[in-house]
């Protein structure tokens, strides 16, 4: 599959034109929401037919990126070569700020490896995009029983990694605009260590796409807030993993501090 970006970094061109309809809509989110809903609906139709494969997932994700840029979003991506250079499955460990990263990560990762998410069970049961998520063979947790969730992630995670599928984990219990290290668990580190694979730390700032009050996944957009993603170098887990966990926390915090006022 052809990657969307062939470089180690990417910045949306400053002269990237916005959609005419978006400008006509006077900075409302109408065009953005309509575009996203259309992409999801097309993906849902394919998923219900059993035809939503990696190629289709890549297209949906790429379409979302184009919609974001067409509605004034500005991307700043770093460390893309740390994904493309991987020759074996890894565990991606990232902070979680909005819906945006779950839609955008696939077009950055799937051209180079199979990948899936650790997700809440409510996502696979969702009436609109549940079939899409189920087609990606995710690791499903409840967030109600930490002990059972740990067992599920470790068992299915190791199985997927052994078969060559990378795993994306958001160790926070939910999406949050602020990063709180005390709520950032070490589950991803433990999975990588148990499976004998490397970890790629990921720092993101995606508050361009806010959480909605009624429809959480289709919240407002803030065109003045740029979108940042930084994929760190892959590394192995040694010893207990405490140092590696702290490294990821520090990596995310340092990037967020750098992006703080943008």
- pLDDT, average across residues 221-233: 97
Question: What residues have CB less than 8 Å from 69, skipping those under 6 apart?
Answer: 12, 16, 75
Statement: residue 143 has pLDDT above 80: no
* 258 lies in some domain: no
Neighbour count for residue 157 (Cβ, 10 Å)? 25
Distance, CA of 93 to CA of 91 (rounded, Å): 6
For the chain, percent of residues with pLDDT exceeding 90: 81
Statement: residue 132 has pLDDT above 90: yes
pLDDT at position 234? 97
Give the confidence band of 214 by pLDDT, cuts at 50, 70, 90.
low
* 197 lies in some domain: yes
Strand 90-94 and strand 198-205: the pairing is: parallel
For 204, list phi and psi in degrees, rounded to 5.
Answer: -135, 150
pLDDT at position 215? 67
Count of alpha carbons within 13 Å of 69, Cβ hemisphere only? 16
Average pLDDT, the chain: 93
Give SS3 for 217. helix
* 262 lies in some domain: no
Distance, CA of 96 to CA of 74 (rounded, Å): 18
Give the confidence band of 4 by pLDDT, cuts at 50, 70, 90.
confident
Whole domain around residue 165: which residue ranges? Answer: 10-253
Comparing C-alpha atoms, which of 4, 16, 1 is closest to residue 65?
Answer: 4
Give SS3 for 18. coil
The least confident of 27-31, 35-39, 190-194, 205-209 is 27-31
Statement: residue 53 has pLDDT above 90: yes
- pLDDT, average across residues 112-139: 93
Question: What residues have CB less than 8 Å from 217, skipping those under 6 apart?
Answer: 99, 211
- pLDDT, average across residues 31-57: 96
* 135 lies in some domain: yes
The first and second tokens of residue 196, run together, are 């004998």
Neighbour count for residue 28 (Cβ, 10 Å)? 12
Give the confidence band of 47 by pLDDT, cuts at 50, 70, 90.
very high
Statement: residue 177 has pLDDT above 90: no
Distance, CA of 121 to CA of 118 (rounded, Å): 10
- Please report, for the domain that includes residue 127, its CATH number: 3.40.1130.10
* 259 lies in some domain: no
pLDDT at position 191? 97
* 185 lies in some domain: yes
Statement: residue 153 has pLDDT above 80: yes
- pLDDT, average across residues 115-127: 92
* 109 lies in some domain: yes
Statement: residue 261 has pLDDT above 80: no
Residue 143 gets the label, from left (phi > 0), alpha (psi -120 to 50) or beta, of left
Statement: residue 120 has pLDDT above 70: yes
Give the confidence band of 184 by pLDDT, cuts at 50, 70, 90.
very high
Total domains present in the chain:
1
Do residues 164 and 179 lie in contact, with contact meaning Cβ atoms separated by under 8 Å?
A: no
pLDDT at position 209? 95
* 72 lies in some domain: yes
The first and second tokens of residue 169, run together, are 């984990």
Give the confidence band of 112 by pLDDT, cuts at 50, 70, 90.
very high
Give SS3 for 112. coil
Task: Please give the helix or strand (H or E) that residue 93 lies within, else none.
Answer: strand 90-94
Give the confidence band of 219 by pLDDT, cuts at 50, 70, 90.
confident
């Amino acid at each position: 599959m052809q990657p969307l970006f062939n470089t180690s970094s990417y910045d949306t061109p400053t002269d990237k034109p916005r959609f005419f309809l978006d400008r006509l809509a006077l900075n409302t989110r109408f065009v953005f929401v309509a575009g996203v809903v259309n992409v999801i609906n097309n993906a849902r139709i394919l998923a219900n037919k059993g035809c939503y494969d990696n190629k289709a997932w890549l297209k949906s994700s790429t379409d979302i990126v184009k919609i974001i840029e067409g509605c004034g979003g500005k991307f700043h991506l770093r460390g893309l070569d740390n994904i493309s250079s991987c020759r074996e499955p890894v565990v991606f460990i990232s902070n979680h700020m909005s819906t945006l990263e779950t839609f955008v990560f696939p077009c950055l990762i799937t051209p180079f490896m199979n990948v899936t998410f650790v997700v809440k069970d409510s996502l696979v049961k969702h009436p609109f995009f549940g079939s899409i998520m189920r087609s990606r063979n995710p690791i499903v947790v409840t967030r109600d029983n930490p002990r059972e969730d740990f067992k599920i992630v470790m068992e299915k995670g190791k199985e997927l990694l052994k078969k060559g599928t990378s795993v994306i984990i958001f160790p926070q219990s939910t999406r949050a605009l602020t990063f709180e290290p005390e709520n950032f668990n070490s589950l991803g580190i433990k999975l990588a260590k148990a499976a004998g694979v490397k970890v790629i730390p990921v720092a993101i700032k995606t508050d361009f796409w806010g959480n909605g009050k009624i429809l959480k996944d289709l919240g407002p957009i803030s065109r003045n807030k740029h979108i940042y993603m930084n994929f760190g170098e892959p590394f192995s887990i040694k010893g207990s993993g405490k140092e590696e966990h702290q490294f990821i926390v520090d990596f995310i915090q340092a990037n967020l501090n750098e992006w703080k006022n943008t």
